[in-house]
Amino acid sequence: MSPVSKSILLSLMLTFIAPSLSLADEVVNLYSARKEQLIKPLLDRFSEQTGIKVNLVTGKADALLQRLQSEGRNTPADMLITTDAGRLHRAKAAGVTQAVESKVLRDVVPESFRDPDSHWYGLSLRARPILYVKGKVDPSRLSTYEALIDPDWDNRICIRSSGNIYNQSLVASMIAANGAEATETWAKAFVKQFARPPKGGDRDQIKAAAAGLCDIAIANTYYLAGMLTSKDQAQRDAAAKMAVFWPNQQGRGAHVNVSGAALTKAAKNRKNAVKLLEFLVNRDSQAWYAEANGEYPVRTDVEPNELLKEWGDFKMDRLNLAQLGLLNPDALRMMDRAGWK
């Protein structure tokens, strides 16, 4: 074959190969513990704006972490989105994430809502205050999480099991604030206040309070928001009986947590994954989270939606949420010793 013919053949080969390489580059593979309807509209918007396709796999948070660990360096996932700083810490501790140094992320995600080593960043905030039944609880009698062991609240509290990571993180935050000894003393007294053995999710605690089984429920506010805006009349009716009380306002503030994201250690499309991560904290994305998900924006320059505004401004605990992961084993052992089922 002549040099000219070889040159023509090579040009033709590159013509056919180049598009496939370009298409392969314009993708990001995402494992998400957030339900599809709570994340896909944003992913579609990202693809429209950037031309980068997002391949989405959803699943239970713990199952996705186990999958990442078993897949190791062969995982197709470039990014993990999951709920609770405790789970984000577990992913980091398992060695399946990597640090992302981004001025965009560091500028808009407050320090307390991101990993000190830049392995994960909060995308939205979820508060876990005290919810009480209107007309049955005088809110002037409420004050702090710690004060829920007062005689006023004997057999009046509904809360999920100790196996729930939201409760584990709440207890971990108390360990960070009050120390292990004081928190264990509190936990042993707290379980005696339960109106029933823990069962069900946060919505179930709200429903139980509305049905008269207890007067106080500990639950994340986005569950209450979801019930108030539900198509199910029974859920709306139950949620309408509840009011929000922000505890610890004279001290460290109400407990908050995050849904957040991390790049996988084995990310093959790292550049695109970083673009997606930065997109999820821009003002428009944060405003969408606030409106559609009933969660609080992680950015301080984006307001919550109108429903959340009705519950009033509140002081947040500014503990760095990485501490919730570090203290999780202590919290679990403590809850077990306290008899928190």
Residues that constitute the known binding site: 222-223
Q: How far is CA 186 from CA 44, 81, 182, 257, 326, in A?
A: 46, 33, 6, 21, 20
CB 280 within 8 A of CB 120: no
Calpha distance 315→253 (Å, rounded)? 5
Q: Are strands 216-218 and 157-158 parallel, antiparallel or unpaired?
A: parallel
Q: Which residues are annotated as a binding site for Fe cation?
A: 222-223
| Residue 127 near residue 308, CB atoms below 8 Å | no
- What CA–CA distance (Å, rounded) separates 215 from 137? 7
For residue 123, give the H/E element and its range: strand 121-127
Judge whether 299 and 317 are in contact, CB under 8 Å.
no
Q: Is the CB of residue 308 less than 8 Å from the CB of residue 225?
A: yes
Q: Is 322 in a helix, a strand, or coil?
A: helix
Q: Are 256 and 127 in contact (CB under 8 A)?
A: yes
- Token digits of residue 187: 């936990």
d(CA 250, CA 315): 9
Nearest to 263 by CA among 102, 103, 111, 154: 102
Q: Which residues of 99-136 are buried (b: 16+ CB within 10 A; e: fewer)?
A: ebebeebeebbeebbbbeebbbbbbbbbbbbbbbbeee
C-alpha pair distances (Å), 81 with each of 78, 96, 171, 230, 259: 10, 13, 23, 25, 7
